Amino acid sequence: KTTYSVTGIEGAAGVTIGTPAFAVTDPERDTTTYSLDCAEFTLNPISGVLTFTSDYDIDAGLTTTVSCGVTVSDGSLTDTATLVVNINNINDNTPTFFRSTYSFYVTHDSTVGTVIADIPATDGDIRTFGEITYSIDQTSTGGTYFRMNSDGGLYVASDLSSFSAGASKDIIITATDGGGLTTTTTVTIVIPGVPTTTVSTTTDRYMTFFEDTRNVAWFVVCMSVLLGLFILISFIIVRYGDFSWMKRLCDELARQCKGKRRSKIRREPIKMSYVEPARVRTSATKITWEAWRTSDNRFY
């Protein structure tokens, strides 16, 4: 026989796939051993048990059928055959929701068909095992107010006007994959109260300069730059400036103030005399005038 086959299920490294029913005869009845040319599997050379060399997951894209070459040897002579390994996919992944609980607000006047939220479950399996269906346990609501579509969308299925404002209802959503594995999540539906609206009026006014944050920002920057320039200029003047001329000027002014005395004008009264005319010599009147004099004998 030149072709053999073995069938197993996907699994982790070291898991047994099966034992091919090799039909080997040796006229000398020598001990025979097996070897395999496929890296995915390991064949026990004595017992012929086939195991996985590494994790084998069809959901990850590995093939379900592998053809390998088998060699049997008695130590000196050999023979070959083909081994077809069939690996079946199994439902090894459970569906999962992104969160274990959800909360959503739904107004009591929401119309039928309104989508509340999309909360799909995911499954790592492929094909049939990865197909998910949904069901809802809404016993707490006392009716059938919500449903799930095939894509995981939760929507309003009937009128919610009977729900009072502020009420909350917990419903349980179950996701089931094609292999029967399930998972659940709890969704809290909250009916918000009716808000009270208060009308208020405001008086418009112009915004002041510093009420605009943009003005404050560039004002602070400008002041910082100016302060920096002032400090820099002051440093340059103090560090490299020559102030000896200022000292000389002050000394000169002080010396002049000490040596100079302002002249004071002394005023003397006008001296006037009246001479009566001599009766014999003349009848003219002699008047003497003395002009103002200063202490330094100069006339002004």
Q: What pLDDT does residue 266 have?
A: 52
Q: What pLDDT does residue 279 have?
A: 55
Residues 129-177 pLDDT 10s: 999 999 999 999 999 999 999 999 999 999 999 998 889 999 999 999 9
- Radius of gyration from C-alpha coordinates of the chain: 59
In a domain, 279, yes or no: no
CA–CA gap between residue 261 and residue 70 (Å, rounded): 135
> Do 15 and 84 lie in a common domain?
yes
Which of 68, 88, 108 finishes a domain? Answer: 88
pLDDT averaged over the chain? Answer: 84
Q: What pLDDT does residue 221 have?
A: 82
Q: How many domains is the chain partitioned into structurally?
A: 2
> Do 71 and 105 lie in a common domain?
no
In a domain, 167, yes or no: yes
Across 3-12, 64-73, 195-204, 223-232, least confident range: 195-204
Q: What pLDDT does residue 238 have?
A: 74
Q: What pLDDT does residue 89 have?
A: 96
The greatest distance separating any two alpha carbons of the chain, rounded to the nearest whole angstrom, comes to 206
In a domain, 147, yes or no: yes
pTM for the model stands at 0.59
Q: What pLDDT does residue 52 have?
A: 98
Is the pLDDT at 260 greater than 90, yes or no?
no
Q: Look up the CATH number of the domain holding residue 110.
A: 2.60.40.60
Is the pLDDT at 263 greater than 50, yes or no?
no
In a domain, 24, yes or no: yes
Pick the more confident residue, 233 or 22. Answer: 22
In a domain, 267, yes or no: no
Task: Give the structural domain span for 114.
Answer: 96-190
Q: Quickly state the pLDDT bin for 272 (edges 50, 70, 90).
A: low
> Do 103 and 83 lie in a common domain?
no
> Do 105 and 156 lie in a common domain?
yes
Task: Encode burial over 50-74: b for 16+ CB neighbours within 10 A, e otherwise.
Answer: bbbeeebbbbeeeeeeeebebebbb
In a domain, 236, yes or no: no
Which of 41, 56, 88 finishes a domain? Answer: 88
Q: What pLDDT does residue 207 have?
A: 63
Residues belonging to the chain: 300
Q: Quickly state the pLDDT bin for 282 (edges 50, 70, 90).
A: very low
In a domain, 143, yes or no: yes
Q: What pLDDT does residue 300 have?
A: 44
Is the pLDDT at 103 greater than 60, yes or no?
yes
In a domain, 261, yes or no: no
* 3-class secondary structure per residue, the chain: CCEEEEEEECECCCCEEECCCCCCCCCCCCCCEEEECCCCEEECCCCCCEEECCCECHHHCCCCEEEEEEEEECCCCEEEEEEEEEEECCCCCCCEECCCEEEEECCCCCCCCCEEEECCEECCCCHHHHCEEEEEECHHHCCCCEEECCCCEEEECCCCCCCCCCCEEEEEEEEEECCCCEEEEEEEEECCCCCCCCCCCCCCCCCCHHHCHHHHHHHHHHHHHHHHHHHHHHHHHHHHCCCHHHHHHHHHHHHHHHHCCCCCCCCCCCCEEEECCCCCCCCCCEEEECCCCCCCCCCC
